[in-house]
Amino acid sequence: MTLREKVGQLFVAGFHGTAPSEEIVKLIKDYQISGVIYFARNVEDPKQVHALSKELQKAAKDAGAAPLFISIDQEGGMVARITDGVTLSPGNMALGAGRSEELVYELGEVVGKELRLLGINMNYAPCIDVNNNPLNPVIGVRSYGESEEFVAKMGVQAVKGFQDANVSAVVKHFPGHGDTSVDSHLDLPVVPHDIKRLKELELVPFYEAFKHGVDAVMVAHVAFPSIDPEKVPSTLSRKVVTELLRGEMGYEGVVVTDCMEMNAIIDYFGIEEAAILAIEAGIDQVLISHTFERQTRAIEAVIKAVELGRISLEHIDAAVERVLTLKEARNLQEGLLDWDDCESEIGTASNVELAQKASEASITLVRESAGLLPLASKDKILLISVDPYVTSGADDTLYQEVTIGSFLERKLPKLTEVISSVTPEEEDIEKLLLLASGVDKIMVATYQGVQHDSQADLVRRLVKKYGDKVGVIALRSPYDVDKFPEVSTYILTYESRKLALKSVSKFLLGEIEAKGKLPITLGTAQVN
Most distant CA pair in the chain, distance? 79
Structure confidence by residue, pLDDT tens digits, 334-356: 889 999 999 999 999 999 999 99
What phi and psi, each to the nearest 5 degrees, are found at residue 119? 90, 5
Query: Tens of pLDDT along 201-221?
Result: 999 999 999 999 999 999 998
pLDDT of residue 190: 85
Decide if 278 contacts 236 (C-beta within 8 A): yes
Q: How confident is the model at residue 99 (pLDDT cuts 50, 70, 90)?
A: very high
pLDDT band for 134, please (50, 70, 90 cuts). Answer: confident
Let me know if domain 71-344 sits in CATH 3.20.20.300.
yes
Residue 392 has pLDDT above 60, yes or no: no
Q: How far is the CA of 193 from the CAs of 77, 187, 197, 263, 437, in angstroms?
A: 29, 19, 6, 23, 50
Strands of 89-150 (E only): list them.
Answer: 122-123
Average pLDDT of the chain to the nearest whole number: 93
- With residue 474 as reference, give the H or E element that holds it: strand 470-474
- Mean pLDDT for the stretch of residues 250-270: 92
Closest CA to 24 of 40, 7, 6, 8: 8
Determine which helix (DSSP H) or strand (DSSP E) holds 133, and give its type and residue range: none
Residue 311 above 50 pLDDT?
Answer: yes
Residue 176 is predicted with a pLDDT of: 85
pLDDT of the residue at 313: 98
Instruction: Output the pTM of the full model.
Output: 0.94
Question: Is residue 185 annotated as part of the catalytic site, yes or no?
Answer: yes
pLDDT at 33: 99
Active-site entry in 179, 258, 395, 480: 258
Higher pLDDT, 136 or 183: 136
What is the assigned CATH class of domain 363-508?
alpha beta
**The residue type at 16:** H
For the stretch 441-473, pLDDT in tens is 999 999 988 878 899 999 999 999 999 999 999
pLDDT of residue 186: 62
Contact in structure between 304 and 274 (CB atoms under 8 Å): no
Q: Which of 185, 221, 284, 452 is catalytic?
A: 185
Is there a catalytic annotation at residue 129? no
Share of the chain above pLDDT 90, in %: 82
Q: Which secondary structure element, helix H or strand E, spans residue 67, and what is its range?
A: none
Give the separation between CA 448 and CA 115, rounded to whole angstroms. Answer: 30
**Domain locations in the chain?**
71-344, 363-508
Q: So what's the pLDDT on residue 525?
A: 46
> Beta-carbon neighbour count of residue 84 at 10 Å?
12
pLDDT digits (tens, 9 = 90+) for 23-54: 999 999 999 999 999 999 999 999 999 999 99
Order of strands across the sheet that contains 441-446: 364-368, 489-492, 470-474, 441-446, 381-386, 415-420
Contact call for residues 311 and 279 (beta carbons, < 8 A): yes
